[in-house]
Structure 1
Amino acid sequence: MDRILLNYLRAADILFSLANWKGKMPTTISSLYNSLINARRSLSLFQHHDGVTGTAKTHVMDDYGWPRQFLIQKNIISRTSEFLLEFTPKETKDQFKVDSEHFKNKLPEKIILKEGTIIVVNSLGYLRKEIICIYVKNKNTKIVGKDNIILQQIEPIFYTNENNKLTIYKDKYSLCFEAELPPFGLVSFNLLENGEIENKVKLQTYKTNIETTLFETTLNDEKELYLSNEFTTAFFNKTTGYLKSIKINNEKIVDIFLSFVRYGARKRNPARTDGGDSLSGAYLFLPDGPAVEIDSSKNQFVIVKGPVRQCIHVNGPLEFGIIHQLCLDKNSKEFTLLNQINMESTWLLKWKNLNKNIEIAMNFKIPSIIEDNFFTDLNVQPFIENLNDIRVSLYGRQALGVASLNIGELQIMLDRRLLQDDDLGLGQSIEDNIQTESLFYLNIEKFNFKRSILNDTIGFHSLSDSLPSFNSFFGLKQSFPCDIFPVAFRTLSEPTIYSSGNRNTLPKYEAALILKRFGIECNLDSTLPNGTKCDKSTGNLNLNNIFTKNPRSITKGTLTLILN
């Protein structure tokens, strides 16, 4: 959750700074600055390790889950977007809503849209083409842009019904379309319900029957289950529906077996002499043995194919409510993986798992990797590689434990339920589970030629991965270099007088721009996603050539923004 809040806060900071720079900002927006300051402080508190890892008492974690801060950021994003796009009060009688609603004790839900205007914000510093998916109420909804020709598709939304069968909603649909987004920019589109369905997807079902008259459905009888585009192809196990191999550049096939595994917890043994007799808990991982693969032979799955994106939806092992989705977008070399795990008390009780210690992980096995070259950082961005062959990278939206316990394997912890304290100070078990969701990007790249281990680039990113009436707004007149990431564009504050009764903070007509330059692994056969426009930096950057409005002055400062 902290990264979602960070994403909203970063976007709100950038849009507020651009609105402040534009000038003549109405008081309805400038008065929100104090809320922006409070949101920064709240995020700092949440990013304490107890908030990220769950090593806090139940009532503290309950407070972390409060969605109020999301509402604050969404309000700022909505109001500044209206101002930058110059919508009149008449046009915005109903305030723009950000696409998802957040709740305290359940997963976020996308807002279901009707006819009207949508705004897509690009808070990154380079122009890119992106596949955007929104939920709509009417299956006949169509997206229309300035050029009036937008590649799009309408597809079903899946869920597991009361009989534990994979089925689709009949009152909402997913509309996916391709959008070109300017750097630090906003683009508006219109939603029309015109009675014509634009590019319905086709469904291929396996071990399940989907009742629908809208989408063409066939029982899968092909020799291979696959998703493909002009760059890559993914193949899937016909029993489980999980990934089994990927063809890189539609040339080299790499076996990469995906599965879900579980751990238990060791029992007490007073005779133990290897570091105490504590058990698995909030801080300690002390399993009862190696991971055990969860039986997935009864999985139900559906392949969805359309011109914009292709996906496989897997209704996995019911005992842990595992739902898995893997998607491949048009013109993308990366795969998007989405997992849901349900370890709530009521669900585990139903499947007689309530009184068990359980830790669940997603496991990748890559037999062709025979060297122990595994690297990761604190942001769940691990990669594992053969020195002169391939690199397998996995990028996570959330902070999760990751390890390579065997050569050629990659394991990511997804959720846990532990019935005891581990004697390290928390003083309680971990049983306050709610349904969790995790998002990953999987990328496999080839090296162009042999490298010397003396020149190994540990931690260097590939170029492609250092990036993830119509009104529009362009905050930049050209993209930042691909290997330079604008970490923050944040309005600075006037001094706050804490001794006064009014502790509100006012914005300055100044902003801090924080940039990070990535080291690039040049030996990887890595090209930018189609539609992304930026160049590698030369080491020099002229900000007067970047922003639409030239800054009055530019001063170097410290990262704390305290000293210039």
Structure 2
Amino acid sequence: MTSCPWLARLVVFGPPPYALPLTTGSVPPDPSPAPPPWPVDVAGGPNTNALADALAIAQHHDAVSGTERQHVAADYALRISIGYTEAEKLVASSLAFLTASRSSVGQEKAVANFQQCPLLNISYCPPSEAVLFDGKSLVVVIYNPLGWKREEVVRIPVSSEKVIVKDSGGRTVESQLLPLSNATLRIRNRYVKAYLGKAPSETLKYWLAFSASVPPLGFSTYTVSIAKPTGPSSTISMVYTSEDSTSNSIEVGQGNLRLLYSADEGKLTHYVNNRNKVTASTEQSYSYYSGNDGTDKDPQASGAYVFRPNDTFSINSESQVQLTIVRGPLLDEVHQQLSPWVSQITRVYKGKEHAELEFTIGPIPIDDGIGKEITTRITTSLKTNKTFYTDSNGRDFIKRIRDFRTDWDLQVNQPVAGNYYPVNLGIYVQDDNAELSLLVDRSVGGSSLVDGQIELMLHRRLLHDDVRGVGEVLNETVCVQNECEGLTIQGKFYLRIDHLGEGAKWRRSVGQEIYSPLLLAFAEQDGDNWMNSHVSTFSGIDSFYNFPSNIAIITLQELENGQVLLRLAHLYETGEDKDYSVLTSVELKKLFPNKKISKVTEMNLSANQERATMEKKRLAWKVEGSAEEETKVVRGGPVDPATLVVELAPMEIRTFFIDFDRIKMFGS
């Protein structure tokens, strides 16, 4: 694990490393790459060293910002891909060990051959797509890396519509079959070929969605099998279009959250939460900025380093946008084809109170000789007084005021670019009554250029170098058999509106879930035999202990000397939330229930000095113009060696080396 995963997020963009070529435009890694240009620990077995090294290299400022040359971006992607492949082997062997039954000592254990799906983000997963014969079942092990229990809807591609899902207790789980959109199928077919050199062998029709409950730092097991002709099976979603509607308004959502669309124009009009009684007029649109070519009065072109827009243009369909509405027991979807190269799927889950918007953009057309920078805008009636908030590397949120800086008198020359900020976790606006929040699955640019509105920059394709050192045009292409076209991206952002002061809970909890998605591993086995001969559910912490909802485990890593490196982070700022912006305790004994802790040593953030030693050398800075009491920062107290309780104050991160009693550890 990286010591600062919110920094690594700038490189990994939320999804696993294999998503890099699709989301950033790097050349897809060779599926059979050459030996890595650094030593690999073969004798020690699979490990995460190569991935850690690749991520460390990718912390370079050009990799983080995307201002490297294309061949350098390809090298970053190759290194991360090699590291991921090695880590994938480690995950498979770890899950095989954890799921193997240890009830019969001395008997041969059934070892599972787990597979993962690196291309699941483009709807390609051979294990789940395989046709099941002879009573075989697809075993899906779902791992949760967070410290709290998660209830989520999992989606996997399947090739059969007669399937049934069961949990570890053999109980049928509610499931739903969703159609694949044309844009999703196009990305699947083209990019699988770009990755693997061949097209997918199966023609998919459905996503299989089912509800999963996964314990903290643990896994749950589900089986997918062919349904009996007379038995229950997954519900096939109802599909209809806006032309079928007899009303001027179309309502989407079956739980607390409802989205209202105009049947005539095919646009979002209202956001309604029946639980907290939030109702807001809400619109969404797509636009693009034409990039400055550097030849007019302004010699600075828009490029990799510089965002220098000319005019803005709305992306409108040549005809009325027809909505395709998909309804089922778990979630509703709205499919929109906004232009030949922009489409979107909006998902409203029955058990969630936010909307998930999945966009597909590209190839951006450049036949008109104009570079384009694509944005989406969410517009409400909130009176935000030029103020908005963006995260700082996924941690604290910073107040931004349009056309204003607190440290100097700002001369506004670029009213658009001068108000753009990096968004790694989220962005929000608020007024006296409500707040609108957006969370992202990758690093983007964001702003609020109009009161009540949030704007996100999602994709760019430009035709001129900005002459800032790259020496290349930001015009990424993907080639398949010498046929090249501009990069297509597919990503997500998440939308929610709350009463004032209530949005932080959602931003912090769901933000962690986006950053640390559930990990899926697949195996094909006899379903009944699997549950009888394997461990089907597991949690790494005490089953009776509730990990605090405002604390995240940033690092949990075993070191070569047997110590464990642990980092805990408080997710909330002071005053951010009335319930969670408080001093919080974590019981280390409950975090390691089967081990006896012999020693806990607190370190500095980078774990290269003991905290006690470092604080003796720390300089006491006096801030000009501030009172003495204002400079004091609240911190958690020292760890009592008897109780082993760690205190964390808002925004605090604490790092520890933990030693265990080796006899107790090996005897457990």
Give the TM interval when normalised to the shorter protein: 0.7 to 0.9
Equivalent residues in 2 for 1:145-294 (5 A)?
Answer: 145-147=167-169, 148-160=171-183, 171-195=204-228, 196-206=232-242, 219-239=244-264, 241-249=266-274, 251-268=277-294, 277-289=299-311, 291-294=312-315
Equivalent residues in 2 for 1:115-514 (5 A)?
Answer: 115-147=137-169, 148-160=171-183, 171-195=204-228, 196-206=232-242, 219-239=244-264, 241-249=266-274, 251-268=277-294, 277-289=299-311, 291-296=312-317, 297-318=319-340, 321-343=341-363, 348=365, 352-353=367-368, 355-377=369-391, 378-379=393-394, 380=423, 381-433=425-477, 434-447=487-500, 464-465=509-510, 467-468=512-513, 469-470=530-531, 471-477=536-542, 478-492=545-559, 507-514=560-567
d(CA) in 2 for partners of 1:548, 1:537: 26
| 1:288 aligned counterpart, secondary structure | strand
d(CA) in 2 for partners of 1:439, 1:202: 24
Instruction: Render the CA deviation track for 1:450-479: whole Å, top value 9, x for unaligned.
Output: xxxxxxx9x897565465243222111233
d(CA) in 2 for partners of 1:407, 1:517: 31
| 1:109 aligned counterpart, secondary structure | coil
| 1:72 aligned counterpart, secondary structure | helix
d(CA) in 2 for partners of 1:159, 1:415: 20
Partner letter of residue 131 of structure 1?
Answer: V
Matched, 1:99 2:117: yes
Judging changes above 3 Å, is the alpha-carbon distance between structure 1 residues 7 and 551 closer, same or farther for their aligned structure 2 residues?
A: farther
d(CA) in 2 for partners of 1:400, 1:523: 24
| 1:65 aligned counterpart, secondary structure | helix
Instruction: Render the CA deviation track for 1:140-187: whole Å, top value 9, x for unaligned.
Output: 1111112313121122222149999xxxx9644211111111000011
> What displacement does 1:132 show?
0.8
Instruction: Render the CA deviation track for 1:345-372: whole Å, top value 9, x for unaligned.
Output: xxx37xx35x321111111111233422
Instruction: Render the CA deviation track for 1:19-40: whole Å, top value 9, x for unaligned.
Output: xxxxxxxx9995212xx11211
d(CA) in 2 for partners of 1:392, 1:138: 40
Identity %: 20
Equivalent residues in 2 for 1:533-548 (5 A)?
Answer: 538-548=583-593
Aligned residues: 483
Q: 596, 599, 609: which is aligned to 1:563?
A: 609
Whether contact under 8 Å (2:428, 2:436) holds in the other structure is yes
Instruction: Render the CA deviation track for 1:461-520: whole Å, top value 9, x for unaligned.
Output: 75654652432221112332010011121222xxxxxxxxxxxxxx33222111110226
d(CA) in 2 for partners of 1:192, 1:96: 17
Whether contact under 8 Å (1:462, 1:522) holds in the other structure is no
> What displacement does 1:243 show?
2.7
Instruction: Render the CA deviation track for 1:540-559: whole Å, top value 9, x for unaligned.
Output: 22211233323423221122
After superposing the two structures, state which structure 1 stretch, 361-370 or 173-182, moved more.
361-370
| 1:555 aligned counterpart, secondary structure | strand
Partner letter of residue 155 of structure 1?
Answer: L
d(CA) in 2 for partners of 1:397, 1:485: 18
d(CA) in 2 for partners of 1:283, 1:398: 18
Structure 1 residue aligned with 2:63: 51
Judging changes above 3 Å, is the alpha-carbon distance between structure 1 residues 124 and 242 closer, same or farther for their aligned structure 2 residues?
A: farther
Instruction: Render the CA deviation track for 1:75-94: whole Å, top value 9, x for unaligned.
Output: 2222111111126987446x
Partner letter of residue 381 of structure 2?
Answer: P
| 1:180 aligned counterpart, secondary structure | strand
| 1:146 aligned counterpart, secondary structure | coil
Whether contact under 8 Å (1:484, 1:537) holds in the other structure is no
d(CA) in 2 for partners of 1:536, 1:330: 29
Whether contact under 8 Å (2:346, 2:355) holds in the other structure is yes
Whether contact under 8 Å (1:371, 1:385) holds in the other structure is no
Instruction: Render the CA deviation track for 1:117-156: whole Å, top value 9, x for unaligned.
Output: 1100101110121111111121111111123131211222
d(CA) in 2 for partners of 1:363, 1:269: 29
Instruction: Render the CA deviation track for 1:376-403: whole Å, top value 9, x for unaligned.
Output: 0245234333342111111111011111
Whether contact under 8 Å (1:225, 1:237) holds in the other structure is yes
Judging changes above 3 Å, is the alpha-carbon distance between structure 1 residues 78 and 428 closer, same or farther for their aligned structure 2 residues?
A: same
| Structure 1 spans left out of the alignment, 5+ residues | 10-26, 208-218, 450-456, 493-506, 527-534
Partner letter of residue 408 of structure 1?
Answer: G
Whether contact under 8 Å (1:446, 1:524) holds in the other structure is no
Partner letter of residue 561 of structure 2?
Answer: K
Judging changes above 3 Å, is the alpha-carbon distance between structure 1 residues 392 and 110 closer, same or farther for their aligned structure 2 residues?
A: farther
Partner letter of residue 56 of structure 1?
Answer: E
d(CA) in 2 for partners of 1:460, 1:180: 20
Partner letter of residue 231 of structure 1?
Answer: N
Whether contact under 8 Å (1:141, 1:191) holds in the other structure is yes
Judging changes above 3 Å, is the alpha-carbon distance between structure 1 residues 108 and 428 closer, same or farther for their aligned structure 2 residues?
A: farther
d(CA) in 1 for partners of 2:593, 2:475: 52
Whether contact under 8 Å (1:261, 1:362) holds in the other structure is yes
| Structure 2 spans left out of the alignment, 5+ residues | 1-8, 18-40, 103-107, 131-136, 188-201, 395-422, 478-486, 514-529, 611-668
After superposition, the CA RMSD in angstroms is 3.3
d(CA) in 2 for partners of 1:162, 1:437: 12
d(CA) in 2 for partners of 1:8, 1:515: 22
| 2:88 aligned counterpart, secondary structure | helix
Judging changes above 3 Å, is the alpha-carbon distance between structure 1 residues 524 and 413 closer, same or farther for their aligned structure 2 residues?
A: same
